[in-house]
Chain A
Amino acid sequence: MLQDYLFPETISEAVSFLQNNEGQARIIAGGTDLLLDIPEGKVKTNCLVDINRISELKKITMEDGVIYIGAAVTHNQVAGSELIQEKAAALACAASCVGSHQVRNSATVAGNVCNAQPAADTAVALVALGATVEIATPDGTQYALVEKTYAGVGKSTIDSTCQLVTRVSFPAARKNQGTAFVRLHQRNALALPMLNVAVMVELAGGRFKWARICMAPVGPGPMRALSAEQALKDAEITPEVIEKASRAVLEHANPRNSALRGSKEYRTSVLPVLVRRALEQAVANAGGTCN
Chain B
Amino acid sequence: MKEYKVIGQSVRRLDAVEKATGTAGFTSDMKLPGMLYGKVLRSPHPHARIVGIDTSEAEKLPGVKAVATYKNTPRELFNTSATMTFTVPPMLPVLDQYIFDNVVRYVGDEVAAVAATSEKIAEAALGLIKVEYELLPAVYDPKEALTPGAPVIHESEKKNIPGEIIQIPYGDVDKGFTESDIIIEKEFKLPVQKQAQMETQAAVAQVGLDGKITVWSTTQTPHPTKMILSKVFSIPESKIRVLNPPYIGGGFGVRIGCSAKAEPIAVALSMLAKKPVKVVYSRKEDFIASDTRHGGYVSVKLGAKKDGAFHAMYLKATLNGGAYCSFSVETPGVLGCMGLAVYRVPNQLYYGHSVYTNTTPAGAMRGFGNPQAMYAIESVVDMMAEKLGMDPLKLRLKNIMQVGDPWVLPYRCGSTGLAECIEKGAKSIGWENRGKLNKPGARKLRGIGMGVGTHVSNAWPFCGDYDNAYITVQQDGSVHLASGVPDMGTGTSTSLPQLVAEVVGVGLDQVSMTFADTASTPFDIGSHASRTLYAAGTAVVEAARDVRKQVLEYAADLFKVAPERLVLQDGVISAASQDAGAVGDNCSGAPVCKIGGVEKKSITLKELAYDAHLRNKQFIGVGRIVPDNAPPWHAHFAEVEVDTELCQVRVLKVAAVHDVGKAIHPVICEGQIEGGVLQGIGYALSEEIKYDEKGRQLENSFHKYMLLTADDVPEIEAMLVESNDPTGPFGAKGVGECGLVPTAPAIVNAIYDATGIRFYEIPVTEEKIFKALKEHVK
Contacts and interface: CB of A to CB of B under 8 A. Distances in A.
Interface of A: 100, 184, 186-191, 194, 259-260, 262-263, 265-266, 269-270, 273-274
A184 B698 CA distance: 21
Interface centre among B686, B703, B710, B767 (most CB of A within 10 A): B767
B692 interface: yes
B690 interface: yes
24 contacts: A184-B648, A184-B766, A186-B706, A187-B686, A187-B707, A187-B708, A187-B712, A188-B709, A188-B711, A188-B712, A189-B710, A190-B703, A190-B709, A194-B766, A260-B698, A260-B704, A262-B766, A263-B770, A266-B647, A266-B766, A270-B647, A270-B770, A273-B645, A274-B646
A270 B711 contact: no
A46 B692 CA distance: 37
Nearest to A260: B704
Contacts of A194: 766
A187 B690 contact: no
Contacts, number: 50
Nearest to B707: A187
Contacts of A266: 647, 766-767, 770
A161 B770 CA distance: 45
Contacts of B711: 187-189
A189 B767 CA distance: 20
A100 B686 CA distance: 18
A270 B770 CA distance: 9
Interface in B755-774: 765-767, 770
B707 to A, nearest CB: 8
B709 A262 contact: no
Interface of B: 645-648, 686, 690, 692, 698-699, 702-704, 706-712, 765-767, 770
7 closest cross-chain pairs (CB), A and B? A188-B711, A189-B711, A189-B709, A273-B645, A266-B770, A186-B706, A188-B712
B766 A259 contact: no
A24 B629 CA distance: 67
A12 B765 CA distance: 51
Contacts of B702: 190
Given A259-B698, A262-B767, A189 B712 contact: yes
Given A194-B766, A260-B704, A273-B645, 12 more contacts: A186-B706, A187-B686, A187-B708, A187-B712, A188-B711, A189-B709, A189-B711, A190-B702, A190-B703, A262-B767, A263-B767, A270-B770
A107 to B, nearest CB: 15
A191 B699 CA distance: 13
A255 B770 CA distance: 16
A187 B766 CA distance: 11
A186 B698 contact: no
Contacts of B766: 184, 186, 194, 262, 266
A270 B704 contact: no
A91 to B, nearest CB: 20
Interface centre among A100, A187, A265 (most CB of B within 10 A): A187
A274 B766 CA distance: 14
A44 B752 CA distance: 52
B645 A100 contact: no
Given A260-B699, A266-B766, A273 B709 contact: no
Chain B contact surface mostly? loop
A190 to B, nearest CB: 6
Contacts of A190: 702-703, 709
B706 A100 contact: no
Contacts of A187: 686, 706-709, 711-712
A276 B704 CA distance: 28
Contacts of B646: 184, 270, 273-274
Contacts of B708: 187
Contact of A186 (B686, B690, B710): B686
Nearest to B774: A269
A171 B287 CA distance: 47
Contacts of A270: 645-647, 770
A23 B765 CA distance: 45
Contacts of B698: 259-260
Contacts of B647: 266, 270
A189 to B, nearest CB: 4
Nearest to B645: A273
A167 B708 CA distance: 35
Contacts of A273: 645-646
B287 to A, nearest CB: 14
A274 B647 CA distance: 12
A191 B647 CA distance: 17
Contacts of A189: 709-712
Nearest to B709: A189
A58 B261 CA distance: 49
B685 to A, nearest CB: 9
Interface centre among A184, A194, A266 (most CB of B within 10 A): A266
A259 B690 contact: yes
Contacts of B707: 187
A191 B698 CA distance: 15
Contacts of A260: 698-699, 704
A191 B767 CA distance: 16
Nearest to B646: A270
Given A262-B767, A266-B766, A191 B706 contact: yes
B498 to A, nearest CB: 35
Nearest to B443: A273
Contacts of A262: 766-767
A114 B146 CA distance: 52
Nearest to B771: A266
A274 B648 CA distance: 13
Contacts of B706: 186-187, 191
A184 B767 CA distance: 13
A259 B765 CA distance: 12
B186 to A, nearest CB: 25
Contacts of A191: 706
B483 to A, nearest CB: 37
A275 to B, nearest CB: 12
B709 A100 contact: yes
A270 B646 CA distance: 6
B526 to A, nearest CB: 33
Contacts of B710: 189
B18 to A, nearest CB: 23
A184 B645 CA distance: 12
A269 B710 CA distance: 30
A262 B647 CA distance: 11
A25 B460 CA distance: 63
Contact of B770 (A186, A269, A274): A269
A273 B647 CA distance: 11
Nearest to A259: B698
Contacts of A259: 690, 692, 698
Interface centre among B647, B709, B710, B766 (most CB of A within 10 A): B766
A189 B690 CA distance: 21
A269 B703 CA distance: 25
A17 B703 CA distance: 35
A256 B645 CA distance: 20
A191 B646 CA distance: 17
Contacts of A263: 767, 770
Contacts of B690: 259
Nearest to B698: A259
Nearest to A188: B711
A38 to B, nearest CB: 14
A271 to B, nearest CB: 10
A187 B711 CA distance: 8
Nearest to A39: B120
A189 B766 CA distance: 17
Contacts of B712: 187-189
B478 to A, nearest CB: 42
B16 to A, nearest CB: 23
A120 to B, nearest CB: 16
A137 B272 CA distance: 56
A240 to B, nearest CB: 17
A273 B645 CA distance: 7
